[in-house]
Amino acid sequence: MDDTYDVIVMGTGLTECILSGLLSVDGKKVLHIDRNDYYGGACASLNLEQLWRHHGEQAAPPAALGRPRDYNVDLIPKFLMSQGNMVKILLHTDVTRYLEFKSVDGSYVYVSKKIYKVPATEKEALGSSLMGMFEKYRFKNLLEFVIQFDENDPKTFKGIDPRKTTSKDLLAKYDLDKGTVDFVGHSMALYTNDEWLSQPCLEFVGRVKLYAESLSLAVHRYNGRSPYLYPLYGLGDLPQAFARLAAIYGGTFMLNKPVDEIVWENGQAVGVKSQGEVAKAKLVICDPSYAGDRVKKVGQVVRAICFLDHPIPNTDNAESCQIILPQHQVGRKSDIYIFCVSSAHQVASKGKYIVIVSSIVETATPQKELDAGLQLLGPILHKFISVSDLYEPVNDCQKEQLFISRSYDAQSHFESVSDDVIRIYKQITGRDVDLTPKSSE
């Protein structure tokens, strides 16, 4: 390990592995280490025996669940928006050659105590039981506006100023009711709170347009019924795929390598000490668990990993799906997310379903905060509930040359993770991540 590098990366979570891959492709000499003996860090995928040990269970997994090796259970579940930045990063780096994706069966929203498929096309809007007849046409008109909207063509603005008109005012123009506003904002635009309503509508329109375009791509390319994709064999292969990419470009990886300390000189991170050896570098990247007092706790996430022997009721027997319970629909300040996968993605025994329910902790009894989501699942064979702290960096990364990622949030999709990758990459290089697909270069 004693050597000098351009970059040292600590932790093999997805954010760190993507950055390691991107910087290696840029020609940087990268050393990537992890205290664990497996890839993925906090977002690892585990088989049943590993999962039981992870949760401190002494007994073996129930035989009724099937063979432990048939499972790949994500500790932090995420779907990929088919036109989102995460997929664009995968395509640009050509990491998709190591992975195979399958569409997610459905995207659903919980409104007025019922589960509804999220309508994202004009045809779906008109056929949806989520809205009354007149509301369907109002929603259809909004979708038509969003789909034809072009930020660079004022003719498509239809009388609004997207940089001044708030989202609330835009939706008022289409006279949408509160339930429709909830599912559009939380299940299509994927906002986590309602601050978006008072902000200029440009971002909101872009988010809904991304959802609609992702659905269109998934339908035509993957024969899908939602805008989301998920890799066969689970998310655990994503960090490893970027690790392979980095290795191709000369990156060095070391697992099971404890970190004694970050080495500092004149207020800058200049290396890492491990087991008496010191590796030097121009800058250091790490996840919050390596950063000590240079991060602050900003909240907690509660997650319930559940095993079922049936699809989630009222989801059209979906073998995989996302359900979002908007905050107002369940009397909370934060949405509840439900993530479901099965043997269709090669992550569970045949006939078994992995369902993970998550949300931001708001009370002193977090295990009860998921009840509204858990009650939608039907009988549960086995369940683990865990609470994880959320951290954000508070250091001056440019001054210290220490770049720290954010903890993974409660959302069941990758948009916030890709935003964090883009943020750190630009802080390091001064450039935006190139999101051009490899095939078009």
Give the class (CATH, top level) of 118-222: mainly alpha
Lowest mean pLDDT among 15-19, 149-153, 276-280, 413-417: 413-417
- Distance separating alpha carbons of residues 166 and 174, to the nearest angstrom: 13
pTM (whole model) above 0.75: yes
pLDDT for residue 186: 93
Considering the four listed CATH numbers 3.50.50.60, 3.40.50.150, 3.40.50.300, 2.40.50.100, the one that applies to the domain covering 4-44+236-296+393-440 is: 3.50.50.60
pLDDT for residue 386: 95
pLDDT at 133 over 90: no
415-429 and 85-93 helices cross at what angle (nearest 10)?
60
Average pLDDT over residues 153-160: 95
Q: How confident is the model at residue 96 (pLDDT cuts 50, 70, 90)?
A: confident
Considering the four listed CATH numbers 3.40.50.1000, 3.30.519.10, 3.90.550.10, 2.40.110.10, the one that applies to the domain covering 58-105+297-390 is: 3.30.519.10
Average pLDDT over residues 388-404: 97
Average pLDDT over residues 255-279: 94
Average pLDDT over residues 185-207: 93
User: pLDDT tens digits for 217-228?
Assistant: 888 888 778 999
* Strand-by-strand arrangement of the 382-393 sheet: 114-117, 106-111, 321-325, 336-342, 353-360, 295-308, 382-393
Q: How confident is the model at residue 1 (pLDDT cuts 50, 70, 90)?
A: low
CB 120 within 8 A of CB 215: yes
**DSSP letters along 46-85, please?**
E-HHHHHHHTT--SPPPGGG--GGG--EESS--BEETTSH
pLDDT for residue 441: 39
Mean per-residue pLDDT of the chain: 92
Considering Cα of 312, then 316, then 322, then 327, what sign does the dihedral take?
Answer: negative
pLDDT for residue 120: 62
Average pLDDT over residues 86-103: 87
Q: How confident is the model at residue 94 (pLDDT cuts 50, 70, 90)?
A: confident
User: pLDDT tens digits for 70-88?
Assistant: 999 999 989 999 998 888 8
Average pLDDT over residues 404-413: 90
The amino acid sitting at 412 is S
Q: Name the residue ranges covered by the structural domains of the chain.
A: 4-44+236-296+393-440, 58-105+297-390, 118-222
Average pLDDT over residues 36-48: 88
Residue 378, helix vs strand vs coil = coil
- Distance separating alpha carbons of residues 261 and 307, to the nearest angstrom: 39
